[in-house]
Chains A and B, each alone.
Chain A
Amino acid sequence: MMDTAPTQSWMRYAAARKRLSAAYLLLAIGGLLGAHRFYLRRTGTAVLLLVITLMSLPWALVFWGWAGLFVTLIWAALDALRLPGMVERFNTALAARLA
């Protein structure tokens, strides 16, 4: 029989890999807040998205915020197209780290 101890690298891969369905769900729910990018461990750009959206929200009622929200909306829309590739790259890099 094969060793199935949970410390095996392939078990860690199975547990830590990212799912495309989860990434899309997060994008749909909290894409403007960078949720999908936090999930894929792209923390820097995730924080940037979050900050732009949060800073824009109060101003959206007045005037300037619309520009910021427009930026994050376009960003999230582009991410929707790039998500399969992002998930694949994360999982490939994860496998490379564990191999």
Chain B
Amino acid sequence: MIARIRRATPQDAAVIAGLHHTTRVVAYAGTGMAPTPLDQLMQRWERILAEPDAPVSATFIAEDAGRPLGFCACGPQRDEAMARAGFGGEFLSIYVLPEAQRLGLGQRLMGAAARRLLAHRMDAATLWVLAANESAREFYATLGAAEIARREVDGHMQVAAGWRGLMGLAAA
């Protein structure tokens, strides 16, 4: 498979919402969490991708011969405490379809997002992951992330994975 990573455009809202929904249904299976309805996700992505005044925020898609396989969105840090701690960037979401996992796509997507953050002089970033999502946490750990915080949202524990220094990710 020769997958390509490219920047997402507003026309990709439906595609990304579809990917988001599919991967969430899989990731949330057995956790008791209800995935966000597809139409809500679509509205959200239309809004995110249409934002013209977002100098840092960007979304990247991985696709193989036009078939979307995963995406990764990054932007400035939303959590004030983390921003104060020096983590200026945030990976807002990263999802790869189950059948396309373990092919290095996630790493390449995060690489593209890391280069984006670095280009805007952000050298540290975080993301939130469900504590129950062991495979994702393991994946981030292999990419050099450290667990830097925990929080509970709607009765589910989330872990913050943090990178101090994005050059390693960017070289992927």
Contacts and interface: CB of A to CB of B under 8 A. Distances in A.
Interface residues of B, number: 21
Contact of B123 (A2, A88, A91, A92): A2
A9 B123 CA distance: 10
Given A17-B119, A84-B6, A88-B112, A10 B165 contact: yes
B158 to A, nearest CB: 25
B contacts with A: majority SS: mixed
Nearest to B168: A99
Interface in A50-78: none
A22 B89 CA distance: 25
Contacts of B4: 85
Interface residues of A, number: 18
A39 interface: no
Contacts of B111: 92
B25 interface: no
A98 interface: yes
Q: Which 5 A-B pairs have the closest CB atoms?
A: A95-B170, A96-B171, A99-B167, A10-B123, A95-B171
Given A10-B121, A95-B171, 9 more contacts: A1-B86, A2-B86, A10-B165, A13-B115, A13-B167, A14-B118, A17-B119, A85-B4, A98-B167
Interface of B: 4-6, 86, 111-112, 114-115, 118-121, 123-124, 165-168, 170-172
21 contacts: A10-B118, A10-B121, A10-B123, A10-B166, A10-B167, A13-B115, A13-B118, A14-B121, A17-B115, A17-B119, A91-B115, A91-B170, A92-B170, A95-B115, A95-B118, A95-B171, A96-B171, A99-B167, A99-B168, A99-B170, A99-B171
